[in-house]
Structure 1
Amino acid sequence: MTFDYLVSLISHYGVVYAIYTFLLPPVATFFLSYAVPKHIVTKYFRQPHFNDGDDELFNHFPFRYYLTLWIAQLTACNWFARRRQAYDLRKDSPRYWLVLSWIYFWLIVIPPITAFLLGLLGLGYFELTGRPVPQV
């Protein structure tokens, strides 16, 4: 197994991760928006955690999916919930929502970072060596 083959394999995995990064968040957000607990939205998506403009904006169709992302981030990340002063959010959330929000958060965070790092590695290698991308 040569170094060129490994670099080519890494660049191909980078393309797969980039496609995955492009397709997964809209699909996952669409399905997860039906699982958001309504009592969490009514209790925590008000003052003092969010302002009235956020509430008005996120009640309309295309931005409603961002509400799902916000609530999932608040539930999955304790530091993010503390920043919004939603201290009891994890206690008030049902168990299924805690699991779904944690999975969703990691599906949103890990693939873009991985795709970026793999692309950066491949581009850096080919830029520094001046070699063409090898065929697999």
Structure 2
Amino acid sequence: MMFEGPGIIFFFLSVGAVALFGFLAVAAWSGARQQERESYYKNDMLKKLAESDTQSAVATLAYLQEKERAREAKSEAKKREGYLLGGLINIGIGIGLIVFLTAIVNDNRAVGLVGFIPALIGVALLIAAFLLSPKKAA
């Protein structure tokens, strides 16, 4: 038969790899294009506002500045949440590794101490989340 042996598996994996990387390329291009359009329209609007000298232009600029501050605050909050989540996940992995390695190695319990490496990385991420990243403005 024609569809037997390792050749079909290689063909399937090759087509899958080409499809995956083709999709990733199109998705990256599409995201960059959308960001470019948003930037263009924003700059065009700011140019038109700068040319007009009305009260509504001042109000619109104040609105845009407030929107930019809100976007930055949201970005910082998301970054802080990422540090918190990463820290908690690493602590959980470290504790699980300590328990697992201690359970499978009965004669040498010091092997379980390897789990302290990811646990301490998690603690460092939690410290970074609480101390180094800025808190929400009141």
Shorter-chain TM band: 0.3 to 0.5
TM-score scaled to structure 2, two decimals?
A: 0.32
User: Larger helix proportion, structure 1 or 2?
Assistant: 2
Of structures 1 and 2, the one scoring higher in RCO (CA 8 A, sep 6+) is: 1
TM-score by length of 1: 0.33
